Amino acid sequence: MNTKTYAGIPQELAKLEQAKIVLIPVPYDGTSTWQKGADKGPKAFLEASENMELYDIETGTEVYQQGVFLADPVTENKSPEAMVDAVHQITKKYIKKNKFVTIFGGEHSISIGTIRAFNEMYPSLTVLHIDAHADLRKSYEGSTCNHACAVYEASQSTNLIQVGIRSMDIMEKTVMDEEKTYFAHDMAIDDSWMEAAIDQMTDNVFITFDLDAFDPSILPSTGTPEPGGLLWYETLDFLKQVFEEKHVVGFDIVELCPNKDEKSSDFLAAKLYYKMLSYKFMNDAVSDNYDNAYESKEQKKNTLKFTDDDNN
Ligand SMILES: [Mn+2]
């Protein structure tokens, strides 16, 4: 039984029944290719979160008052496929409980499971993928559930928009939709990408945020740091607009690879998570009921079928 709460919030705000927000840690690092350690990400993130002040100056809110339930970590690691399946099932379970579901990895392969769950529960889903890497390989090192394949499935089954990309294999060009890809070298010289990307989104948006999208000068503790990344305030500016203009249905944050001598990355991840929650709930009173407005594709089919029968 886990008695620790997210960010040390009071127990009564951390109970599943009352909490509007669910946080699922996935300490998984089965397929990373260079520096190992993303499995330690959730622990470092939670420790940093406990040392963070919980009033958000920008929105003038204390989003933790909406309630945050810290779920048991997903520890399935028999195979990448079994891990993805476990993440998929548990994510879906909490969406069905009408919560705002968030997931902290772990390496990026966990997002195959999170995206699959949200895509089953929300029609016309946009996946906003913020990352240094394209992650569009169909399979890698013998598995379709490798971190290098994180958004291949999303590219086939959702409206995928990629932001911050600065590293890819030439083969991925055959899968990539360059109209919906925002490369870091273009973003650096022209900030019209924010509006352009938002214009391409449907209303339901899931955000998968690989921390290596950030510039290594502000976030060095990640498995594969790439130069030329996003900075803090431009990232927040973009995220805030997305939360204001779209129905963000959930998000995951992945690839924190902690280094005991460098804590600022852990703290940045903690703060990013809290900022995203603050933007999500900035206009919601604590007393408001929360409705995550899920409508699974199965349900939708049944409703249509019912209507057809009704007309006969
Ligand atoms: Mn990446």
**CATH architecture designation of domain 6-311:** 3-Layer(aba) Sandwich (3.40)
pLDDT in tens, the chain (312 residues): 457 899 999 999 999 999 999 999 999 998 766 777 999 999 999 999 999 999 999 999 999 999 999 999 999 999 999 999 999 999 999 999 999 999 999 999 999 999 999 999 999 999 999 999 999 999 999 999 999 999 999 999 999 999 999 999 999 999 999 999 999 999 999 999 999 999 999 999 999 999 999 999 999 999 999 999 999 999 999 999 999 999 999 999 999 999 999 999 999 999 999 999 999 999 999 999 999 999 876 666 666 555 444 444
* Predicted local distance difference test score (pLDDT) of residue 36: 79
Each domain of the chain, given as residue ranges in start order, spans 6-311
* Predicted local distance difference test score (pLDDT) of residue 296: 74
d(CA 271, ligand 1 centre) in Å: 19
Instruction: Indicate the pTM of the whole model.
Output: 0.94
Report the Cα–Cα distance between both ends of the chain, in Å, rounded.
53
Contact assessment for residue 239 and residue 248, using Cβ atoms and an 8 Å cutoff:
no
d(CA 71, ligand 1 centre) in Å: 25
* Predicted local distance difference test score (pLDDT) of residue 304: 57
Beta bridge partners of 162: 129, 181
- Residues contributing to the annotated binding site for Mn(2+): 108, 131, 133, 135, 210, 212
* Predicted local distance difference test score (pLDDT) of residue 189: 96
- For 94-121, what is each residue's pLDDT tens digit? 999 999 999 999 999 999 999 999 999 9
* Predicted local distance difference test score (pLDDT) of residue 306: 54
SS3 of the chain: CCCCCHHHCCHHHCCCCCCCEEEEEECCCCCCCCCCCHHHHHHHHHHHHHCCCCCECCCCECHHHHCEEECCCCCCCCCHHHHHHHHHHHHHHHHHCCCEEEEEECCCCHHHHHHHHHHHHCCCCEEEEECCECCCCCCECCECCCHHHCCHHHHHHCEEEEEEECECCHHHHHCCCHHHEEEHHHHCCCCCHHHHHHHCCCCEEEEEEEHHHECCCCCCCCCCCCCCCECHHHHHHHHHHHHHHCEEEEEEEECCCCECCECHHHHHHHHHHHHHHHHHCCCCCCCCCCCCCCCCHHHHHHHHHHHHHHHC
d(CA 215, ligand 1 centre) in Å: 12
From the number of C-beta atoms within 10 Å of its C-beta (0-12, 13-18, 19+), residue 54 rates as middle
d(CA 36, CA 116): 25
- For 2-56, what is each residue's pLDDT tens digit? 578 999 999 999 999 999 999 999 999 987 667 779 999 999 999 999 999 999 9
d(CA 291, ligand 1 centre) in Å: 32
d(CA 272, ligand 1 centre) in Å: 17
